[in-house]
């Protein structure tokens, strides 16, 4: 077999690995990889008379309906709530990222999982993140919170939590079944945890705690009780000693003064809630709140009081559900919640019914969604390219791996 034949045979694995690593380096590279993936999917399905794509979509009927409802709610929000122009058209077209999810589902049905060395992937991934750290502190001389190649500490934190959750789930599942520690995965988990600590992303700290505690409770891992005690003792020591400014960071979480992070969040939460109240059915369009904030700050006389010196503090809603409600109203919010609930039910049902590697995949998919939902409590991971890319990649691939046409599993409908 020639090298080209070998590459062709492994093309799905190569694309999946390229997508996985690209997110840690550059969102532009990720875009290129998604375009290549979609093109490969179309070409592959064209060769079999589109049977593969038709079969995939036929198994996702309820999900398809909910996705259509979500998209239409956003489109109607743009059309009915604000002044319509080229920028709004561009943002409506930006919802094409949803196609990437379906491409990942298709890829998940084609991957050769026995050819994937997760231990090696985890270590290479950590090395890439460390290169980003070196790039930040030594090549660009940017000090302060850790952000690596991402250019923003919070984006770094709530992007890497998804592969962290996957590695944690895989290692925990392996430990439960073999009573042996996987030191490669443990090293990756610890390394990512340390990096997230230095991002000072408090919302992601909370999300990681939720994922760890939920996974430990579900699998009844006694080992993790010692981890929880150890981390608690370490955290208390760092708090009372204010090591790495940990105490200051925790206390800052309760500071709602004007110009503080929580003061800004309070203003954003209130303004987005007011937007939702004014446009409850279809919202104003998923990204439109960025431009409407100035109007609402002025309307409620919050300029300078809630946002400090930065008069026009423009950002997402800092709560994923609130962002969706503002952008697509009750209709889109219902679709988003239903998609999350169906996804959780699908993965949990498969975790209960499957055996071997597919049971492990189902568990990983479950905690990808848990990580996304937990991070969305105080941030908007769906609005950021990198974190959204990991959500689409992992959830899509895991759905594809477990779909009824492949394994005769519990349906996603």
Grade residue 259 by pLDDT with cuts at 50, 70 and 90: low
Instruction: Give the integer Cα–Cα distance in Å for 116 and 125.
Output: 14
Q: Which whole number is the average pLDDT over 192-220?
A: 94
Q: Region 266-285: what's the mean pLDDT?
A: 90
pLDDT over threshold 50, residue 170: yes
pLDDT at 89: 78
Q: What is the pLDDT of residue 92?
A: 78
Residue 400's CB is within 10 A of a number of other CB atoms, namely 22
**pLDDT exceeds 80 at position 197:** yes
- Which whole number is the average pLDDT over 362-391? 95
166 membership: H or E segment, kind and range = helix 153-178
Residue 83 is predicted with a pLDDT of: 72
Q: Give the dihedral sign, CA 362/363/364/366.
A: positive
Nearest by Cα to 251 from 32, 93, 382, 242: 242
Q: Which residues contact 220 (CB under 8 A, 6 or more apart)?
A: none
How far is Cα 66 from Cα 332, in angstroms, rounded to an integer? Answer: 9
Q: Which is more confident, 408 or 42?
A: 42
Average pLDDT estimate for 118-137: 95
Find the length of the chain: 413
User: What does the pLDDT read at residue 7?
Assistant: 53
Cα–chain-centroid distance for residue 7?
29
pLDDT at 233 over 90: yes
Kindly state the DSSP code that residue 403 receives in the 8-state scheme: -
Average pLDDT over residues 274-299: 87
**Are 38 and 16 contacting, i.e. CB atoms less than 8 angstroms apart?**
no
Structural domain boundaries in the chain: 3-221+318-407
Residue 10: is its pLDDT beyond 90? no
SS3 string, 255-275, reads CCCCCCHHHHHHHHHHHHHHH
- DSSP alpha helices (H): ranges in 179-319? 183-199, 202-219, 223-241, 246-252, 261-278, 289-299
Q: How far is the C-alpha of 126 from the C-alpha of 189, rounded, in Å?
A: 9
Average pLDDT for the chain: 87
pTM recorded for the entire structure = 0.91
Contacts of 290 (CB under 8 A, 6+ apart): 314, 315, 316
Which positions ≥6 away from 234 have C-beta within 8 Å? none
Tell me if 392 sits within 8 A of 101, measured CB to CB. yes
- Compute the distance between CA of residue 26 and CA of residue 386 in angstroms, rounded to an integer: 8
What one-character-per-residue DSSP string does 120-140 give?
A: HHHHHHHHHHHHHHHIIIIIS
Band of pLDDT at residue 412, cut at 50, 70 and 90: low
273 vs 308 pLDDT, higher one: 273
Q: Is the pLDDT of residue 219 over 90?
A: yes
pLDDT at 257: 61
Contact 364/394 with Cβ under 8 angstroms?
yes
CB atoms within 10 A of CB 283: 31
257 vs 383, which has greater pLDDT?
383
Predicted local distance difference test score (pLDDT) of residue 215: 96
**Residue 397 pLDDT > 50, yes or no?**
yes
Residues 383-408, mean pLDDT to the nearest whole number: 86
Is the pLDDT at 408 greater than 80, yes or no?
no
Is the pLDDT at 308 greater than 50? The verdict is no
Buried b (16+ CB within 10 A) or exposed e, 332-366: bbbbbebbbeebeebbbbbbeebeeebbbbbbbbb
Which residues in 7-141 belong to E strands, given as ranges?
A: none
Mean pLDDT on 17-32: 94
Give the residue with greater pLDDT, 166 vs 308: 166
Q: For the chain, what is the radius of gyration of the CA atoms?
A: 22
Q: How far apart are the first and last CA of the chain?
A: 41
What per-residue confidence (pLDDT) applies to 216?
A: 95
Six-digit token pair at 413?
């409908």
Check residue 404 and give its pLDDT: 66
Residue 17's pLDDT band, with cuts at 50, 70 and 90, is very high
* Dist. CA 168–CA 184, nearest whole Å: 11
């Amino acid at each position: 077999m020639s090298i080209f034949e070998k590459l062709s045979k492994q093309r799905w694995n190569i694309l999946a690995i390229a997508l996985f690593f690209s997110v840690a380096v550059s969102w532009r590279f990720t875009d290129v990889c998604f375009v290549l993936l979609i093109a490969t999917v179309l070409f592959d399905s064209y060769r079999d008379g589109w049977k593969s794509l038709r079969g995939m979509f036929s198994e996702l009927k309820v999900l398809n309906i909910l996705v259509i409802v979500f998209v239409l709610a956003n489109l109607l929000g743009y059309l009915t709530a604000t002044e319509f122009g080229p920028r709004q058209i561009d943002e409506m077209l930006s919802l094409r990222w949803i196609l990437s999810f379906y491409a990942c589902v298709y890829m998940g049905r084609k991957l050769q999982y026995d050819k994937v060395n997760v231990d090696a992937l985890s270590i290479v991934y950590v090395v890439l993140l460390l290169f980003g750290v070196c790039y930040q502190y030594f090549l660009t001389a940017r000090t302060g919170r850790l952000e690596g190649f991402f250019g923003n500490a919070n984006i770094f934190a709530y992007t890497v939590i998804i592969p962290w959750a996957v590695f944690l789930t895989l290692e925990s599942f392996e430990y439960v079944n073999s009573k042996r520690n996987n030191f490669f995965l443990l090293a990756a988990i610890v390394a990512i945890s340390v990096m997230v600590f230095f991002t000072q992303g408090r919302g992601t700290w909370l999300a990681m705690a939720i994922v760890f505690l939920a996974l430990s409770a579900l699998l009844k891992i006694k080992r993790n009780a010692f981890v929880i005690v150890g981390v608690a003792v370490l955290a208390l020591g760092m708090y009372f000693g204010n090591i790495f400014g940990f105490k200051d960071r925790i206390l800052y979480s309760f500071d709602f003064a004007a110009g503080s992070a929580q003061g800004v969040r309070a203003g954003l939460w209130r303004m987005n809630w007011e937007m939702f109240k004014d446009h409850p059915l279809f919202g104003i369009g998923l990204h439109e709140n960025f431009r409407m904030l100035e109007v609402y700050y002025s309307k409620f006389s919050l300029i300078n009081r809630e946002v400090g010196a930065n008069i026009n503090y423009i950002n997402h809603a800092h709560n994923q559900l609130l962002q969706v409600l503002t952008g697509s109203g009750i209709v889109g919010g219902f679709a988003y919640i239903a998609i999350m609930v169906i996804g959780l039910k699908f993965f949990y049902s498969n975790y209960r019914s499957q055996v071997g590697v597919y049971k492990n995949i189902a568990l990983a998919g479950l905690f990808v969604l848990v990580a996304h939902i937990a991070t969305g409590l105080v941030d908007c991971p769906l609005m950021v390219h990198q974190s959204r890319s990991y959500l689409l990649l992992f959830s899509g691939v895991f759905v594809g791996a477990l779909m009824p046409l492949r394994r005769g599993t519990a349906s996603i409908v």
